[in-house]
């Protein structure tokens, strides 16, 4: 079986991204459970968005651990933005922390988080023609 990629990908040396990031500032609510099972909520803003991931600026004094599952939800008044991927307009999207920004010296909290959007197959924002197809 041979896999053929239909979506053109341009790789930049040192850049491991599958799709390009687009700068977009959108208010977002994050919710997650801490190590004790307590639900935590934070209102943040995005810095940039791609089809698979989002980077959010962090202002809180606390931190979210690496690989923690996070519910990502765009504020209801911002869901109509035309640059926003259709996946993020629907409501909550499960995501995982996969990169933590540099820590601030004053608080020790990170400047931001990169979140990988955990999207079930068939709900990808790309059309089926753009996805990888298999040929025999």
Which mean pLDDT values do the consecutive 10-residue runs of the chain (136 residues) have? 37 62 92 94 92 90 90 90 83 93 86 90 49 38
Q: Is residue 17 part of a domain?
A: no
Cross-strand pairs, 28:
44, 74
Residue 84 · residue 54 · CB < 8 Å: no
DSSP state at residue 131: S
Q: CATH number for the domain including 91?
A: 2.40.10.220
Counting the structural domains of the chain, the total is 1
Does any domain span residue 57? Answer: yes
Q: What is each CA distance from 2 to 40, 65, 88, 133, in whole angstroms?
A: 45, 38, 32, 9
Q: Is residue 19 part of a domain?
A: no
Domain that residue 98 falls in: 2-9+24-135
18 within some domain: no
* Contacts with 115 (C-beta within 8 Å, 6 or more apart), sequence order: 53, 54, 55, 56, 70, 72, 95, 96, 97, 98
- Distances, alpha carbon 8 to alpha carbons 4, 12, 97, 99, 126, in Å: 11, 13, 27, 26, 13
Give domain status of residue 128, yes or no: yes
Distance between CA atoms of residues 40 and 136, nearest Å? 48
Give the three-class secondary structure for 55. strand
16, part of any domain: no
């Amino acid at each position: 079986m041979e896999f053929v990629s239909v979506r053109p990908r341009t790789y930049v040396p040192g850049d491991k991204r599958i799709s390009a990031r687009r700068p977009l500032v959108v208010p977002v609510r994050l919710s997650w459970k801490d190590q004790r099972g307590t639900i935590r909520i934070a209102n943040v803003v995005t810095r940039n968005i791609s089809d698979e991931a989002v980077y959010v600026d962090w202002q809180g004094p606390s931190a979210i651990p690496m690989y923690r599952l996070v519910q990502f939800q765009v504020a209801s008044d911002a869901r109509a933005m035309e640059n926003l991927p259709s996946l993020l307009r629907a409501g909550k999207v499960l995501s995982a922390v996969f990169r933590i920004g540099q820590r601030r010296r004053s608080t020790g909290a990170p400047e931001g988080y990169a979140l990988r959007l955990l999207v079930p197959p068939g709900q990808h924002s790309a059309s089926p023609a753009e996805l990888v197809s298999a040929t025999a």
